Amino acid sequence: MPTLKQRILTTFIVTVCAGILGVALGLWVARVVTIRMMQARLDNYAGRLVADEEAADLELRTALAAIDASEHKNCAAPEIAYLRALIFESQSLKDAGRMRAGAIACSAALGKPAQTSSLGEPEFTQQDGTAIYRNLVPYQSTGLSTITLERGDSFVVYTPMTRLHVEPEPLRFVETAMDAPTQRRGRLLGDGAAIPAQILGNEGLAQQDGTLYATRCSIRFFDCVTSFVAIPDAIAMNRAQYRETVLLCGLAGAVLGCVLALLYRRNKSLEQQLRRAVRKGRVRAAYQPIVDLHSGRVVGAEALARWEDEDGHAVGPDIFIPLAGKGGFIGELTRQMIRRVLRDFAPVLRGDEGFRVSVNVTADDLEDPQFPVWLEDLLRKEDVPAGGLTLEITEGSTVRRGMAIEAIRRLRAQGHKVHLDDFGTGYSSLSYLHDLAVDAIKIDQSFTRAIGTGSVTVGILPQILSIVEALHLNVIAEGVETQEQASYFADADLPVLGQGWLFGRPQPFAEFEKLRAERAWCAEAKVQTEEDASLLVGSGVK
């Protein structure tokens, strides 16, 4: 039996070993936690810089379009006055003007130079023909970078560093652009430090040679931002937390280290998890049938996004859709859903002209000028007719009426049907619907649920149907859960399609196809039965 002295010695040795292990674990945990936190901060930093540049780039391109549309073309006094007014109204512009033969012919700041000199070759030329110059001689300033964008004979100049939300040292960044003719990516702004080529332009997080990197790229233009910091600097920025972690792990040992790891995982940003899920294609599609209320046939489906976080918990679309919009990657989510729909339904859409799949699009998608181009190219590659893919927009996404009208016009011109979702909950009126020129409306489920309840809400339905009939639009009733609700719309004076749990919940593609086949068989059997009964009555048999 161990003596008291031996027990004390053993306890002391175990305590010391546990303390050493705890300190070692604390050093490792503190380093890992610091790196993970700094990577998240770098990713957020790069994302903010991309958003800043997208806003500035959009303003610059709008200014170029305004110069192109100007009735003044000869660099006379009226044109220079017009250019100066344009500069005065802008947040970012420093100068604007016209070029002739590769030289400045006139501008708001320079007027009409007596002597002109060639500006040389642009550093970058983008796919739309926009040329980019850095620090042109007339605009060089100590400590500030200037960017000149030229398209046709128009140009604008701005100083990006006065607009960007730049973090102080030791966090650094570099913005890069792609030269379309050479496919060369080069530095446009930021730190001149050498960054490995495989990191620039490749969106995501990286760690190499003792440095942390986070790269974010614009989905609208051709720029990427890489933010970075050396690991020793990252640790120095979080020194107080680093010491506390080491001390706590030394006292609590491996148990506290495990708890810290679990707490860290639990507190991971939901937005970051969603961003990774979108990038890796982990958002699923579920399909809810759209039914012809008279025949019972499934004539379409609505594709609905479904997602589980990294802990396996289902997250509702009412939570993750706004997260994607706030995070600036809702467009990526829309495109992923469309690709998934075509992967599932391409053979069906090629062979059944009457069947359509609906996909929800947002205001960001409508505002993106590249979205219709991308959609048209994708459908051409998949050999799927545009009429098979219906695009659903909400009333909220059409607040900017001019933008929405033009976007809808272009999508319909490509052959798509456009439906207005959740009708009756926002801004709808007869003139509003007439201006939007959609193909159909989807009556919000709050009106459907009021049927048979005595609620005053149901009294609005006849008015809605009258508006629709006057504009010769199609109608889809959402939220149909009872036969009474289905019968209400089936008895209307105009054809109405139905969607809701009465016909089927959102389900995977294989289950949806099984349901579609079953309903088609039932519809055919019903028609045959009615024809047989008609023949018997006509022959006098009872």
Three-class DSSP labels, 281-324: CCCEEEEEEEEECCCCCEEEEEEEEEEECCCCCEECHHHHHHHH
Tokens representing 365 are 């998608």
Q: Is 184 helix (H, G, I), strand (E, B) or coil?
A: strand
| Tokens 């380093």 -> residue | 31
Cβ 374 vs Cβ 411: under 8 Å = no
Question: In terms of DSSP bridges, do strands 474-477 and 440-443 run parallel, antiparallel, or are they unpaired?
Answer: parallel
Question: In terms of DSSP bridges, do strands 440-443 and 172-179 run parallel, antiparallel, or are they unpaired?
Answer: unpaired
- CB-side neighbour CA atoms (13 Å) of 34: 25
| Tokens 């070759």 -> residue | 121
Strand pairing partners for 144? Answer: 141
Rounded CA gap, 195 and 174, in Å? 9
* Alpha carbon separation from 313 to 203, 261, 273, 306, 309 (Å, rounded): 26, 19, 12, 11, 5
Nearest Cα neighbor of 283 from 332, 218, 217, 346 is: 332
Residue 194's pLDDT is 78
Cβ 254 vs Cβ 85: under 8 Å = no
Residue 426's pLDDT is 60
Q: Is 72 helix (H, G, I), strand (E, B) or coil?
A: coil
Residue 59's pLDDT is 85
* Alpha carbon separation from 414 to 79, 276, 333, 355, 388 (Å, rounded): 38, 32, 22, 18, 12
Cβ 188 vs Cβ 132: under 8 Å = yes
Catalogue the E-assigned strands of 352-407. 356-360, 389-394
Cβ 316 vs Cβ 306: under 8 Å = no
Q: At residue 369, what is the residue type?
A: P
Question: In terms of DSSP bridges, do strands 440-443 and 418-423 run parallel, antiparallel, or are they unpaired?
Answer: parallel
Nearest Cα neighbor of 194 from 228, 165, 164 is: 228
- Residue by residue, pLDDT tens for the chain (542 residues) are 334 465 455 555 656 565 566 666 666 777 777 888 888 889 998 888 888 888 888 888 888 988 888 888 788 899 999 999 998 888 778 899 888 888 888 899 888 887 776 778 888 988 888 888 888 888 877 567 788 899 888 999 988 766 667 777 788 888 888 888 888 888 888 876 778 888 887 888 998 888 999 999 887 776 888 889 888 888 887 777 767 676 666 666 544 434 333 334 444 578 888 988 998 989 999 999 999 998 889 999 999 999 998 878 899 998 999 889 888 899 999 999 999 999 999 999 998 888 999 999 988 898 898 999 999 999 999 999 999 999 998 776 666 777 888 888 999 999 999 999 888 766 555 667 777 888 999 988 888 998 888 777 778 888 888 888 888 889 999 999 999 999 999 998 888 999 999 999 999 999 999 998 888 887 676 655 555 555 444 544 44
Cβ 67 vs Cβ 83: under 8 Å = yes
Cβ 424 vs Cβ 405: under 8 Å = no
Per-position b or e across 503-521, b if 16+ CB within 10 A of its CB: bbebbebeebbebbeebee
Cβ 212 vs Cβ 170: under 8 Å = no
Rounded CA gap, 458 and 474, in Å? 19
